[in-house]
Amino acid sequence: MSVIYLLISISLIIALLFLYAFFKAVKNGQFDDDYTPSVRVLFDDSVTDSKTETSPTVVSPKTIQND
Amino acid sequence: MNAPCYHCGTLVSPQNTLQFDKRAFCCVGCKTIYQFFTDNHLSDYYRFDANPGAKPSDASIKYAFLKDQAIVSSLLEFQNEETSIITLHIPHIHCSSCIWILEHLHKISPAILRSQVNFLKKTVRIVFQPKLSLFELVQIISNIGYEPRISLEHVDAKEKPVDRNLLYRIGVAFFSFGNIMLLSFPEYFEVGEFWLEQYKSFFRWLMLGLSLPAFLYAAFPYYESAFYAIRSKRLNMDIPIALGIVAMFVRSIVDMYLDHGAGFFDSMCGLIFFMLLGKLFQQKTYEFLSFERDYKSYFPIAVTRVNDDGGEAVVAVYDINPNDIILIRNEELIPVDGILLSATAKLDYSFVTGEQKPVYKQSGDKLYAGGKFYGATVKLRVSQRISNSYLTQLWANEAFTKNKRAAYSTITDRISRYFTPALLGLAAISFIFWSFTSLQMAFQVLTAVLIVACPCALALTAPFTLGNVLRILGSQKLYLKNAAVIEQLAAVNTLVFDKTGTLTTTSSSALSWKGSFTEDELVAIKSAVYASNHPLSRLISNELLGLKAEDLSDFKEFPGKGIEAKHGNTNMRLGSATWIGAAVDTTTHATAVHIEIDGIYKGSITFSTLYRKHLPELFHKLANDYQIVVLSGDNSSEKATLASILPASVSYHFNQKPEQKLNFIKKLQDEGKTVLMMGDGLNDAGALMQSNVGLALAEDVNVFSPACDGIIDATVFEKLQAYLKYSKNAMRIIYGSFTISVLYNIVGLSFALSGTLSPLVAAIIMPLSTVTIISFVTIMSNVFARFKSK
C-alpha cells in the first residue's frame, strides 16, 4: 500500500503545477483585462476583402488628409 | 426619412447625404475614412458593428506639441533605437470594430509593429518603429476617427503597479482548500478500513502542511487589519475573523497531537477562500472612468511661447515662467494666469465658474487660467507659474488632501462594535464555566466558540450586497467609485445641485426666432451655418434639419465674432450683437445670434437654457425626504424660472465661486448634515470633494468629469430618486442578512457551548451559511432593483 505515497506526491505535484500556472497567468496580466480577449478570439486571422488585389497599399498619414 | 451615416451613424436627411459606393455618408470626412479602409483591405471594420466610426478630426494643429522631443519622451512608455511603445487613451473605443481596427493598425503603416486594445480601460498600446514619429502616429489614428486624449496628466504618468496580491492569495487559499478537502474525505465518512487507519497520521501531517500557505500567506491581510485595529484601540470585524482562524489552526494541531481527529484545516482554508472571494467581488471598478481627475486632465501639455528673437517654440506648460509671452489659439485653454497683450479676447469660463456667458477682456486685463479662448490668436504675458495660478490653488485646499474614507465607519465596523465584545465575552464566560469541569474541556469549548462564531457569513454580507448593488447601478449608468459610496448614499439627507450643466442640459437648447425670414433666406442661413463648426451653428443647423444645405460662393468665419457668407446673390452676416451692430438687449442674459442679410438687420435667434426633462417631477419627489439646495456660479437671472417650477422648499444660492461652494458644503456638514453634491464642471470640483457623496453628471461619461465618488449619466438623471431609495434598500438587505448569519451563529454556538462541535458540523455550517447569505443578498438586491424595468 505504500504506493499511496507515490500517488499522493504525484497528485500534489500536479496541483502545484496548476498553482504555478495560475501565478504565472496573474503575473502576465491575464486577469487584468477580462473582456478584450473574448472579442479578439472571434476575429479572423486573415483580412477578407471584397476587392481581389493582394498587396495592401501602404500609405503615409498625409494620403488620408489630402483627400 | 433620415438615414444613418454608414460610417458614424449620425442621422442625415436625404438632401444632405453623400452617396458613395451605394452607401450613405454624412460628411466628406466619414466618406474618406470608408474609402481609405476599403482601399486598404480593412473594410471588415464595418462587419463587426453597424456604424462604428467617428468623424475624423484634424490633428495637425491640436497635437503640434508632439513634435517636441522632450514632451514625446515623457509620454512614451519605452524607447530605444528600434522600438517605441506608447499607451494612448481613446474615448471613442466602444465596440468590437474598434478593437479590430486598432489591432490592425500595422496594415495602415508598416512602421507600426503591433497594437493591443484594453477595452475596459479604453486604451491602446502601440509598439512602433521610431522612424514613425509620435506626431505622425497620432495623426494616423486621428484621421481614422480615433482621436486620443492627451493631457497634462499623461506627462510622466508612471504606470501604476497593479496590485494583484488578492488574486495570488485567492489562488493559494483555493489550492489549500481543495487539496485538504480531498484528503479529509476518509475522515468525513469515518471509513474504518484498516489501511486508511494506517495512513491517518500521514494524511493529517499532509493537511497541516497544505494549510500552512493559506494560514500564513492568504489570511495575512486579516491579521494585519486586526493588529492595526487593536493598536488604535478600535474593534473591527477582522479581529474575530483573525481570532477564529488562529483558533482553528491551534485547535487542529492540538487535536492532531492528542489524536482527537483531523481538526479544522478544511474549514479554515475554505473560510479564508470564501472571504477573499467576497473581497474580490466588492472590488468592482470601472476602469474606463477616472474618479481622481484634477485640473491636469483638462489642461494642455504644451503651449506656444514667443522667444526673445521673435521665433515660436512649443514648450511644456510646467516650463512656462513669469514674463514669458505665450500664444493662445482659438478654442485653446489658458493654462496660466497672465496679462492680455492683444487688443481684445473672448473667453468662456463656464468650465471654471459655471457661468456660460462669455467674458470680453481688453488689452492689459488680467486673465485667469482655465478660460477657454475663442477668436484669432492672442498673446499673453505670463504672471504666475501653473502651480501658483488662481485655479490650481483650489487643489491646495485641505479637502483634496485628507482621506475621505477615514472619516466614517462602515456598516460592518459599526456592527462589529457590538458583535466583537459580545463574542469575546461569551468565549471568556464559557471558558470559566467549563474550567470547573475540566481544563481540557474548557480549552475545547473556547476554541469551538471562536471557530463557530468566526463571522465569516457576517463578513461576507456587506461585500456581496454592496458589490452586487454596485454592478446593478453600473448597468443603470450610475457608476460609483467603490462599494463604500453606497453606504454614504443611503445616509444622505441633504442634496445640493449645481445649476448650469447639471439642472440644465448642454446638449440641446430652446431656440426662439425674432424677425421673419423667407424660405430662400432660411436655406441661405442653413447653408451658412452648415459650413461652420461653431456649436451655435450646429444648433441652428439642427433646428433647420428639413432644409438642404447648398453650396456657398463665399464663406468666412471670424472666430469669436461670427460668419460672413454668400449664397447665390445673398450676402449674409451672422454673429454677435456687437459685431453685427445690433442693439443689445440688456434685459436678458441669453446668448443670441444676430442675422444681417444684404446689409439689412433681419432679426435674431435666441438660445435659452433648457432644464432637464422631468426635473420638476424629480424635485417634487425628492423634496419630501431631502433638503434641497441649488448652488450656482451663475447669476440669479434664472431664479424666478426655477422657483416657478421647483418645490417651494428648495433654497437658492447664486454667484458662488468654487471656493465658496466648497465652504458652503462644509458649513452644511458642520450643521450635522450628510450632503450629496451633484455637479458637472471643474468649478464644482471642490464641493464634490468636500461633500459626503460627490456625483458628477456627465453627458458623455467618457469625456471629462472632475474628481468625484460617482459619475451619473445625464440620461438617467430623472432616476436619481429611485437610486437613492435603492441604496437605502441595500442597507436593509444587509441588516436582514446580518440577522440570518447571527441565527447560524446561534445554532453553531449551541453545539460549541455544549462541547459537541465536531469538524464535520463545522465543515457543514460554514459553507451552508455562506451559500445562504450569498443567495439571499443576490436575490434581494435584484428584487429591489425593480426600477430597472421602468
What are the average pLDDT values for consecutive 10-residue runs of chain B, which has 790 residues?
78 76 82 85 81 73 77 82 86 84 87 88 88 87 84 64 85 94 79 73 89 94 90 82 89 85 84 87 70 68 79 79 82 82 77 65 81 79 78 66 58 81 87 86 83 77 86 87 86 88 71 80 83 72 74 76 83 82 61 82 78 85 89 79 85 84 89 88 80 84 71 87 91 89 84 75 78 87 70
Q: What CA–CA distance (Å, rounded) separates B552 from B549?
A: 9
Compute CA distances B664 → B567, B654, B684, whole Å. Answer: 53, 12, 12
Q: What CA–CA distance (Å, rounded) separates B441 from B432?
A: 11
Interchain CB contacts (distance < 8 Å): A and B: 99
Look up cell 430652446; give the residue. Answer: B510
Mark yes or no for CB contact A29/B162 under 8 Å.
yes
How many beta carbons lie within 10 A of that of residue B439, not counting itself? 11
Q: What CA–CA distance (Å, rounded) separates B564 from B550?
A: 15
CB of B36 within 8 Å of any CB in chain A?
Answer: yes
Mark yes or no for CB contact B179/A50 under 8 Å.
no
**B40: nearest CB among A36, A48, A57:** A57
pLDDT category at A20 given cuts 50, 70, 90 is very high
> In CATH, what is the architecture of B299-332+337-383?
Distorted Sandwich (2.70)
Is residue A63 assigned to a domain? no
Degrees to nearest 5, angle at CA B67 with B61 and B72? 120
Q: Are B490 and B784 in contact (CB under 8 A)?
A: no
Compute CA distances B593 → B255, B383, B560, B562, B609, whole Å. Answer: 87, 35, 12, 8, 14
CA-nearest residue of chain A to B138?
A61
The correct CATH number of B469-505+612-728 out of 3.40.50.2020, 3.30.470.10, 3.40.50.1000, 3.90.1300.10 is 3.40.50.1000
Give me the pLDDT at residue A25, please: 92
Tell whether the model's pLDDT for residue A65 goes beyond 70: no
Is residue A30 assigned to a domain? yes
Instruction: Choose the mutation target among B21, B40, B284 for the interface with A, i.e. most A CBs under 10 Å.
Output: B40
Q: What CA–CA distance (Å, rounded) separates B710 from B695?
A: 5
Give me the pLDDT at residue A59, please: 41
Q: What is the dihedral of CA B451, B457, B462, B463, to 10 degrees?
A: 90
| Radius of gyration, CA atoms only, chain A | 25
Q: Distance from A6 to chain B by nearest Cα, in Å? A: 13
Instruction: Choose the mutation target among B95, B106, B108 for the interface with A, i.e. most A CBs under 10 Å.
Output: B108
Between residues B548 and A6, the one the model is more confident about: A6
Compute CA distances B429 → A38, B158, B391, B486, whole Å. Answer: 56, 55, 61, 38
Q: Which class is B57-154 in CATH?
A: alpha beta
| Residue B655 zone, left/alpha/beta (φ > 0; ψ -120 to 50; rest) | left
Looking at chain B from residue 418 to 457, which residues have their Cβ under 8 Å from any Cβ of chain A? none
Full domain range(s) for residue A11: 1-39
B227: which 3 cell numbers? 493588529
Q: What CA–CA distance (Å, rounded) separates B487 from B490?
A: 5
Is residue A13 assigned to a domain? yes
**B32: nearest CB among A23, A43, A67:** A67
The correct CATH number of B506-611 out of 2.60.40.420, 3.40.50.1370, 3.40.1110.10, 3.20.20.140 is 3.40.1110.10
Percentages (nearest 5) of helix, strand, coil residues in chain A: 50, 0, 50
**B36: nearest CB among A22, A42, A64:** A64
Side-chain half-sphere CA neighbours of A33 within 13 A: 17
Secondary structure element (H or E) that encloses residue B608, with its range? strand B600-611
Between residues A43 and B351, the one the model is more confident about: A43
- DSSP H helices, B563-706, are 577-580, 615-623, 639-645, 658-670, 685-690
Mark yes or no for CB contact B171/A19 under 8 Å.
yes
Is residue A21 assigned to a domain? yes
Question: Which of B560, B561, B571, B559 has its CA nearest to residue B528?
Answer: B571
Degrees to nearest 5, angle at CA B613 with B702 and B682? 40
Please give the tally of structural domains in chain A. Answer: 1
Is residue A5 assigned to a domain? yes
Domain boundaries, chain B: 57-154, 165-282+412-465+729-785, 299-332+337-383, 469-505+612-728, 506-611
Give me the pLDDT at residue B168, please: 94
| Residue B608 zone, left/alpha/beta (φ > 0; ψ -120 to 50; rest) | beta
- The β-bridge partners of B344 are B362
Compute CA distances B603 → B286, B573, B598, whole Å. Answer: 49, 11, 13
